């Protein structure tokens, strides 16, 4: 939501109308990745810290230097436990700054934290850190994942035990700079350089199967193609439906649901398919726009119900778009489609 729109919001009234409240209030958290480990919900968000810079489309106003792990025993809880710093950028040998949206996974009693960060060359890559506990502390691998790039890793475990990473984000997430296979540093100050034209196929998120130890890609990343109702790839100019960032994958009744943010138009959308690689057919919106610049989410099952974890800027009252993590239930229709959620009551 643009800065001039936020300036005219009555935040007290907005918070009364909000369908859910922030899970933590002592810090600002965003981009929540929620997982059930050992019967408890653990949430892996990014940590919004005001850098004191003016708002821009590259995210320079956020000094995101560490990760906290949150937990709740049930989605109905109104306050999460903050387990403190699980990983700090100073403990990641290859990373200089900007620990953006992370994700986590568990395998054989070991926990993995996947995260994007900018290296000392100014390029986003994706790293992994490990722990014996879901709350950390996490120990980072000495190098980023070979062949990784861009932002927003989301790791999905399929029913056969195979793990896949979905990732990518345009504008400040640099995905558009990799269109030819190598990083294009030209016009580095512009988030709009190297984007496709509006009448060209939209940039796609990426997916790669992970190695058995979850520390590397087991293949070259592939495009996650989202099709329209005619079976054609969505176009870059289709801003209300095309992928921007914030990939997530979940499975419901045998169908794969690829969900994502449209970024500058502020929708959380989803597409359905029969294979973890897709293609996926656009199916609708999960969440209408929240107060704050963009949306980022996860979807988690708990005790037979499904929940959307998301964020907005209601707690900070829009200051520099500092965000807070929230949760609400999602409802499926009989045909498998998801009922669109309005984040504020009319």
Q: What pLDDT shows up at residue 26?
A: 95
Q: What pLDDT shows up at residue 6?
A: 62
Q: What pLDDT shows up at residue 9?
A: 84
Cα–Cα separations (whole angstroms), residue 132 to 84, 113, 137, 280: 16, 11, 8, 35
Name the token pair of 203. 């940039």
Structural domain boundaries of the chain? 3-330
Which residues are annotated as catalytic? 31, 245
Q: What pLDDT shows up at residue 49?
A: 87
Q: What is the 3-state secondary structure (H, E, C) of the chain?
A: CCHHHHCCCCHHHHHHHECCCCCCCCCEEEEEEEEEECCEEEEEEEEECECCCCCCCCCCCECCCEEEEEEECCCCCCCCEEEEEEEEHHHCCCEEECCCCCEEEEECCEEEEEEEEEECCCCEEEEEEEECCCCCCCEECCCCCCCCCCCCCEEEECCCCCEEEEECCCHHHCHHHHCCCCCCCCCCCCCCCCCCCCCCECCCEEEEEECCCCCCECCCCEEECEECCCCCECECCCCCCCCCEEEEEEEECCEEEEEEECHHHCCEEEEEECCCCCCEEEEEEEECCCCCCCCCCEEEEECCEEEEEEEECCCCCCHHHCCEEEEEEECECCCCCECCECCECC
Q: What pLDDT shows up at residue 55?
A: 55
Mean pLDDT in order along the chain per 10 residues (346 residues) = 61 93 96 98 94 56 87 96 98 97 98 98 97 98 98 98 98 95 90 94 98 98 98 98 98 98 97 98 97 92 98 85 94 98 94
Alpha-carbon dihedral 159, 138, 128, 161, rounded to 10 degrees: -10
pTM of the model: 0.95
CATH code of domain 3-330:
2.115.10.20
Q: What pLDDT shows up at residue 3?
A: 46
């Amino acid at each position: 939501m643009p800065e001039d729109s936020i300036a005219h919001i009555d935040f007290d009234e907005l918070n009364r109308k909000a369908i859910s409240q922030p899970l933590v209030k002592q810090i600002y958290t965003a981009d929540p990745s929620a997982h059930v480990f050992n019967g408890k919900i653990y949430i892996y968000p990014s940590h919004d810290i005001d850098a004191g810079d003016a708002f821009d489309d590259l995210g320079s106003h956020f000094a995101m230097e560490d990760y906290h792990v949150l937990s709740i025993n049930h989605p109905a809880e109104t306050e999460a436990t903050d387990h403190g710093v699980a990983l700090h950028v100073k403990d990641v040998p290859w990373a200089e700054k900007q620990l953006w949206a992370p994700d986590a996974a568990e395998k054989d009693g070991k926990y993995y934290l996947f995260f994007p960060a900018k290296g000392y060359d100014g390029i986003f890559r994706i790293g992994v850190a490990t722990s014996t506990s879901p709350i950390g502390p996490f120990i980072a691998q000495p190098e980023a994942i070979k062949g990784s790039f861009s932002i927003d890793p989301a790791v999905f475990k399929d029913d056969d035990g195979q793990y896949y990473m979905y990732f990518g984000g345009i504008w400040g997430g640099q995905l558009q700079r990799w269109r030819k296979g190598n990083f294009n540093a030209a016009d580095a100050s512009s988030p709009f350089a190297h984007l496709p034209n509006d009448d060209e196929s939209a940039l796609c998120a990426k997916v790669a199967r992970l190695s058995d130890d979850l520390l590397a890609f087991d293949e070259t990343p592939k495009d996650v193609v989202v099709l329209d109702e005619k079976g054609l790839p969505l176009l870059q100019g289709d801003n209300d439906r095309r992928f921007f960032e914030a990939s997530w994958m979940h499975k419901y009744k045998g169908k794969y649901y690829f969900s994502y943010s449209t970024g500058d138009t502020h929708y959380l959308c989803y597409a359905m398919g029969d294979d973890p690689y897709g293609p996926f057919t656009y199916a609708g919106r999960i969440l209408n726009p929240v107060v704050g610049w963009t949306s980022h989410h996860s979807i988690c099952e708990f005790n037979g119900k499904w929940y959307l974890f998301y964020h907005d800027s209601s707690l900070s009252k829009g200051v520099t778009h500092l965000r807070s993590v929230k949760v609400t239930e999602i409802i499926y229709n009989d045909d498998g489609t998801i009922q669109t959620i309005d984040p504020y009551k009319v």
